[in-house]
């Protein structure tokens, strides 16, 4: 494994008043705080001032946001389930990037009611596949999330969720390392190039 830490961007995917997302995020950061193979950038979408319109001439806020995505080797989305899917603020943020997501791994931490936010994750898998990202098989999920944490923000079943986080981080670390090496060897392109006759040629 490379000695350079994997730069992990954690996207806090809710901006709703009274949200549980910061509690879940802080718990996850604690899970990786002692792991020096990761460096962390927390991107809280409630605090990122993205414009409402996605433009071909983006303003400074959008440019800065996309640079944070570009700098990341891997992503984790902390996402609740709203109406059987994921929040609009997260979809809006995702749509600002394209190449920034490509050939990078994405892990999920979801929370919700009985479904534990997993329907939001399944919708996100399709979105991220369209952006040429690689989603992790295993997730961390919290069922009936408001009862899953105590008054101090600690999980009531710490062993179970810590075990799930360990599995997801193992997968994320493997993919982030492999894909970073691959991108360095040959930049990723979403489609092969064509010559003047329209024939496919090696993109390299």
Q: What are the pLDDT digits (tens) for 30-54? A: 999 989 999 999 999 999 999 999 9
Take residue 151 and report the two structure tokens written for it. Answer: 């008054």
The answer as to whether 20 is a domain residue is: yes
The answer as to whether 1 is a domain residue is: no
pLDDT at 204: 43
Helix (H) / strand (E) element for 28: namely helix 21-32
Q: CB-side exposure of 115: number of CA atoms within 13 Å?
A: 14
Cα gap 200→204, rounded to integer Å: 12
**Among candidate residues 134, 82, 75, 66, the one with its CA nearest the CA of residue 109:** 75
- Structural domain total, the chain: 1
Which range of residues forms the domain containing residue 109? 6-201
Pairing of strands 105-111, 6-12: unpaired
Give the rounded distance of the alpha carbon of 151 from its chain centre.
Answer: 27
- DSSP label at 114? T
**Among candidate residues 114, 112, 134, 116, the one with its CA nearest the CA of residue 124:** 134
Query: For the whole model, what pTM was predicted?
Result: 0.92
pLDDT band at 200 (very low <50, low <70, confident <90, very high): low
**Among candidate residues 25, 65, 43, 37, the one with its CA nearest the CA of residue 176:** 37
Q: How far is CA 194 from CA 45, 102, 130, 204, in A?
A: 39, 20, 21, 12
Report whether pLDDT(201) > 60.
Answer: no
CATH of the domain at 127: 3.40.50.360
pLDDT band at 191 (very low <50, low <70, confident <90, very high): confident
pLDDT band at 118 (very low <50, low <70, confident <90, very high): very high
């Amino acid at each position: 494994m490379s000695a350079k830490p994997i730069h992990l961007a954690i996207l806090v995917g809710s901006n709703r008043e009274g949200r549980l997302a910061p509690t879940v995020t802080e718990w996850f950061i604690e899970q990786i705080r002692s792991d020096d193979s990761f460096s962390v950038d927390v991107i809280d979408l409630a605090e990122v001032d993205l414009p409402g319109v996605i433009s071909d001439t983006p303003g400074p806020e959008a440019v800065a946001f996309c640079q944070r995505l570009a700098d990341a080797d891997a992503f984790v989305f902390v996402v609740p389930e709203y109406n059987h899917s994921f929040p609009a603020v997260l979809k809006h943020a995702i749509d600002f990037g394209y190449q920034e997501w490509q050939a990078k791994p994405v892990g999920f931490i979801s929370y919700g009611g009985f479904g534990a936010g997993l329907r939001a994750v399944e919708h996100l898998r399709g979105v991220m596949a369209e952006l040429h990202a690689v989603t992790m098989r295993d997730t961390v999920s919290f069922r009936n999330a408001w009862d899953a944490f105590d008054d101090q923000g600690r999980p009531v079943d710490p062993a179970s969720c810590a075990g799930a986080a360990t599995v997801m981080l193992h997968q994320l670390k493997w993919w982030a390392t492999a894909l970073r090496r691959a991108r360095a060897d040959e930049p990723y392109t979403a489609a092969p190039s064509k010559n003047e006759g329209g024939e496919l040629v090696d993109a390299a």
